[in-house]
């Protein structure tokens, strides 16, 4: 009987198949270069799992390529440039859908990704701060920044109660009246308000247009940010 010999990476073997002696069916696959094993069990079993295991073994040590053709590492699925491009496209789509405000109509904090404002990573206390920041760092003013929404400081009364009753006898929670629950809720609400703590989060439904070019009033998401324009 002429048994095929195993050769590591000298012939274009796509992956090794592991079979029971005398059987044709592969029960597992191994990378032809490093021998790492991939079994259908790792993918939950079944016909799809078999194909997935084979694919994993075939591609285990293979050079990976991004959809643009650039070489990428094993842990990447896409190259940096494509990722940035996708991100930009997503932003432009979001911008197209967003309600647009002029900077003069808006006084709250704003978000500009990739830049450090006085409120942390990307967060500036207002549009003026963005303008100053650009002037100080010799940067071009962005066409728009995102508006931010106030995140109220609040404590969930039911979460507190759940935790408080955790160790108690079954049914203990039912002994607490709805009135008492509401009393606590009101207390927590008042207490939170007194703390004067507020955070802001990016609101991608509202964009703030920076009036650099002297009035971009009739901009309905077209023109300034046409798809494919190398806007920065
Ligand atoms: Zn390998
Ligand atoms: Zn790419």
For residue 231, the model assigns a pLDDT of 42
In this prediction, residues 49-73 reach a mean pLDDT of 92
In this prediction, residues 209-213 reach a mean pLDDT of 74
For residue 12, the model assigns a pLDDT of 59
How would you write the chain as a 3-class SS string? CCCCCCCCCCCCCCCEEEECCCCCCEEEEECCCCCCEECHHHHCCCHHHHHHHHHHHHHCCCCEECCCCCEECCCCCCCHHHHHHHHHHHHHHHHHHCEEEEHHHCCCCEEEEEEEECCEEEEECCHHHHHHHHHHHCCCCCCEEEEEEEECCCCCHHHHHHHHHCCCCCCHHHHCCHHHHHHHHHHHHHHHHHCCCCEEEEEEEEEEECCCCCCCCCCCCCCCCCCCCCCC
In this prediction, residues 37-46 reach a mean pLDDT of 91
Kindly give the distance from the C-alpha atom of residue 17 to the centroid of ligand 1, in angstroms, as a whole number: 14
Dihedral angle of Cα 49, 54, 57, 58, to the nearest 10 degrees:
-140
Kindly give the distance from the C-alpha atom of residue 93 to the centroid of ligand 2, in angstroms, as a whole number: 20
In this prediction, residues 177-181 reach a mean pLDDT of 96
Confidence of residue 23 (pLDDT cuts 50, 70, 90): confident
Residue 191 has pLDDT above 70, yes or no: yes
Residue 9 has pLDDT above 80, yes or no: no
Kindly give the distance from the C-alpha atom of residue 74 to the centroid of ligand 2, in angstroms, as a whole number: 14
> How many Å is the Cα radius of gyration of the chain?
29
Kindly give the distance from the C-alpha atom of residue 67 to the centroid of ligand 2, in angstroms, as a whole number: 5
The ligand whose atoms approach the alpha carbon of 69 most closely is 2
The ligand whose atoms approach the alpha carbon of 72 most closely is 2
CA–CA separation, 33 and 198 (whole Å): 55
- Placement of tokens 């759940």 in the chain: 162
Kindly give the distance from the C-alpha atom of residue 80 to the centroid of ligand 1, in angstroms, as a whole number: 24
CA–CA separation, 139 and 123 (whole Å): 17
Q: What is the pTM of this model?
A: 0.57
In this prediction, residues 216-223 reach a mean pLDDT of 43
Give the closest residue to 100 by CA, choosing from 202, 201, 221, 232. Answer: 221
Kindly give the distance from the C-alpha atom of residue 89 to the centroid of ligand 2, in angstroms, as a whole number: 14
The residue with greater pLDDT, 224 or 191, is 191
For residue 176, the model assigns a pLDDT of 94
How much of the chain, in percent, has pLDDT values that exceed 70? 86
For residue 212, the model assigns a pLDDT of 58
134-171, pLDDT tens digit by residue? Answer: 999 999 999 999 999 999 999 999 999 999 999 999 99
How much of the chain, in percent, has pLDDT values that exceed 90? 72
Task: Please list all protein residues whose beta carbon sits less than 5 angstroms from ligand 1, which is an ion.
Answer: 31, 33-34, 36, 60-61
Kindly give the distance from the C-alpha atom of residue 7 to the centroid of ligand 1, in angstroms, as a whole number: 14
């Amino acid at each position: 009987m002429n048994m095929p010999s195993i050769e590591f990476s000298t012939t274009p073997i796509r992956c090794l198949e592991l079979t029971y002696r005398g059987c044709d069916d592969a029960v597992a696959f191994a990378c032809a270069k490093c021998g790492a094993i991939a079994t259908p069990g790792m993918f939950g079993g079944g016909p799809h799992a078999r194909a997935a295991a084979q694919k994993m073994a075939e591609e285990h040590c293979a050079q990976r390529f991004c959809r643009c053709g650039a070489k990428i590492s094993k842990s990447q699925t896409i190259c940096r440039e494509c990722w940035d491009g996708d991100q930009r496209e997503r932003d432009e789509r979001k911008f197209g859908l967003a309600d647009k405000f002029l900077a003069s109509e808006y006084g709250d904090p704003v978000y500009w990704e990739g830049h450090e404002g006085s409120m942390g990573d990307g967060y500036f206390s207002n549009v003026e701060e963005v303008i100053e920041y650009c002037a100080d760092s010799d940067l071009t003013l962005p066409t728009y920044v995102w508006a931010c929404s106030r995140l109220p400081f609040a404590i969930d009364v039911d979460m507190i109660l759940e935790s408080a009753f955790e160790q108690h006898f079954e049914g203990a929670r039912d002994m607490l009246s709805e009135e008492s629950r509401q009393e606590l809720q009101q207390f927590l609400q008042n207490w939170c308000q007194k703390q004067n703590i507020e955070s802001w989060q990016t609101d991608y439904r509202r964009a703030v247009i920076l009036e650099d070019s002297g009035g971009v009033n009739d901009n309905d998401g077209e023109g300034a940010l046409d798809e494919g324009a190398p806007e920065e």
